[in-house]
């Protein structure tokens, strides 16, 4: 019942389950991050735009877990895109987090109307060279955005963090990731909680004596995805990490594959978003 890891295309290992902290204010982030690290998590997903990097850093230090044992991700917000402004934004994130490196730095959205994601990617490559980010990747990128940054720089992102849950399984984009050797990270893995009272998932949960959240997280793990469920409640944070001591069987996975729905998207469509 040990946690599992995915090896990224740059050789670094990322814990397959991490804590997401979107919509978590600083003071709550301190307690949530500390609770997660005490429950065994070693992976935290924040972003500059979440406004809680100080709280995340404080929670990490309060836990007593060594910095080097934690996989920490943050993201460059859209208004900081561009080469120089990205270098500056990364410095500011590191300062707020109270650390001199992140394990993973992501471009939060391609924001194609700005026309700056390729310049932004060049800054991430520089930050990796300087050791300020150990791995670099993207979020919400489509195939054309991935192809473009790889063509422009020769550097392939380690992963693409995208909206993905059993009822929005993203098979097309996952195929693209397979072709390019990019790992897939699932955001809103629980469908922002909407999937927790799904009848099919409830049935599987009953069969295994597990909670719906644990069944969904297990589905991500067995699909080779990296998953960052969010909770601020210590008991749920712990529950969401107790997923390494059981397995879904073929019938469970087959039943869950039927939930996939092209209209399952909850968040903005990155192809048309104008923020
Ligand atoms: P999620 O799918 O993780 O769902 C979180 C909600 O599910 C919680 O607020 C809670 O209401 C409920 N929940 C969680 N565990 C539970 C449990 N054990 N029992 C009952 N209810 C439970 O939603 P999310 O926060 O949107 O996504 C997770 C993380 O993904 C975010 O915190 C963030 O780090 C990341 N994210 C990234 C992007 C991006 O653009 N890159 C966008 C959205 C989210």
Q: pLDDT, tens digit, for every residue of 95-133?
A: 999 999 999 999 999 999 999 999 999 999 999 999 999
- 5-7 and 133-139 beta bridge pairing: unpaired
Cα(227) to ligand 1 centroid in Å equals: 10
Residue 228's pLDDT band, with cuts at 50, 70 and 90, is very high
Q: Residue 107 is encoded by which pair of tokens?
A: 């471009």
Ligand 1 in contact with 167 (CB < 6 A)? no
Residue 259 predicted with pLDDT over 90: yes
In a domain, 203, yes or no: yes
Residue 35's pLDDT band, with cuts at 50, 70 and 90, is very high
- 159-163 and 133-139 beta bridge pairing: parallel
In a domain, 273, yes or no: no
Q: Residue 152 is encoded by which pair of tokens?
A: 């422009």
The domain spanning residue 13 has which CATH number?
3.20.20.100
What is the full DSSP assignment across 228-268? --B---HHHHHHHH--SS----HHHHHHHHTT--TT---S-
In a domain, 93, yes or no: yes
Rounded to whole angstroms, the Cα distance separating 52 from 233 reads: 17
Rounded to whole angstroms, the Cα distance separating 135 from 106 reads: 9
Ligand 1 in contact with 55 (CB < 6 A)? no
Secondary structure of residue 163 in the 3-state scheme = strand
In a domain, 90, yes or no: yes
CB 180 within 8 A of CB 273: no
Residue 1's pLDDT band, with cuts at 50, 70 and 90, is confident
Binding site: which residues?
Answer: 108
In a domain, 81, yes or no: yes
Rounded to whole angstroms, the Cα distance separating 112 from 141 reads: 10
Ligand 1 in contact with 229 (CB < 6 A)? yes
Cα(209) to ligand 1 centroid in Å equals: 22
Ligand 1 in contact with 111 (CB < 6 A)? no
Chain-wide mean pLDDT for the chain?
A: 98
In a domain, 168, yes or no: yes
Residue span of the structural domain in which 107 resides: 5-257
What are the residue numbers of the active site? 50
Average pLDDT over residues 164-181: 98
Cα(39) to ligand 1 centroid in Å equals: 18
Q: pLDDT of 37-91, one tens digit each? A: 999 999 999 999 999 999 999 999 999 999 999 999 999 999 999 999 999 999 9
- C-alpha pair distances (Å), 100 with each of 58, 84, 96, 127: 14, 19, 10, 11
Rounded to whole angstroms, the Cα distance separating 10 from 5 reads: 14
In 164-271 the beta strands, taken as DSSP E runs, fall at 183-187, 226-227
Atom of ligand 1 nearest to the CA of 190: 2
- Which residue puts its alpha carbon closest to atom 8 of ligand 1? 231
Cα(152) to ligand 1 centroid in Å equals: 33
Residue 4 predicted with pLDDT over 90: yes
Total of domains in the chain: 1
In a domain, 268, yes or no: no
């Amino acid at each position: 019942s040990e946690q599992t890891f995915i090896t990224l295309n740059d050789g670094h290992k990322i814990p397959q389950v991490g804590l997401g902290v979107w919509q978590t204010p600083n003071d709550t982030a301190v307690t949530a991050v500390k609770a997660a690290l005490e429950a065994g998590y070693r992976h935290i997903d924040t972003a500059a735009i979440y406004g809680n990097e100080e709280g995340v850093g404080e929670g990490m230090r309060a836990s007593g877990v060594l910095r080097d044992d934690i996989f920490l991700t943050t993201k460059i917000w859209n208004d900081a895109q561009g080469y120089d402004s990205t270098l500056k934004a990364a410095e500011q994130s590191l300062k707020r987090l109270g650390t001199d490196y992140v394990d993973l730095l992501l471009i939060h959205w391609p924001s194609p109307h700005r026309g700056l994601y390729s310049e932004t990617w060049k800054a991430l490559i520089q930050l990796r060279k300087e050791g300020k980010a150990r791995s670099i990747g993207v979020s919400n990128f489509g195939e054309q955005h991935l192809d473009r940054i790889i063509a422009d720089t020769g550097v392939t992102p380690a992963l693409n963090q995208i909206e993905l849950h059993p009822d929005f399984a993203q098979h097309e984009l996952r195929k693209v990731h397979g072709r390019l050797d990019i790992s897939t990270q699932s955001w809103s893995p629980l469908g922002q909680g909407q999937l927790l009272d799904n009848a099919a998932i409830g049935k599987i949960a009953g069969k295994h004596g597990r909670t719906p959240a644990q069944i969904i997280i297990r589905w991500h793990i067995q699909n080779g995805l990296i998953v960052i469920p969010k909770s601020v409640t210590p008991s749920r944070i712990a529950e969401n990490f107790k997923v390494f001591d059981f397995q879904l069987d073929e019938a469970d996975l087959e039943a869950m594959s039927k939930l996939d729905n092209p209209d399952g998207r909850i968040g903005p469509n990155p192809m048309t978003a104008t923020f």
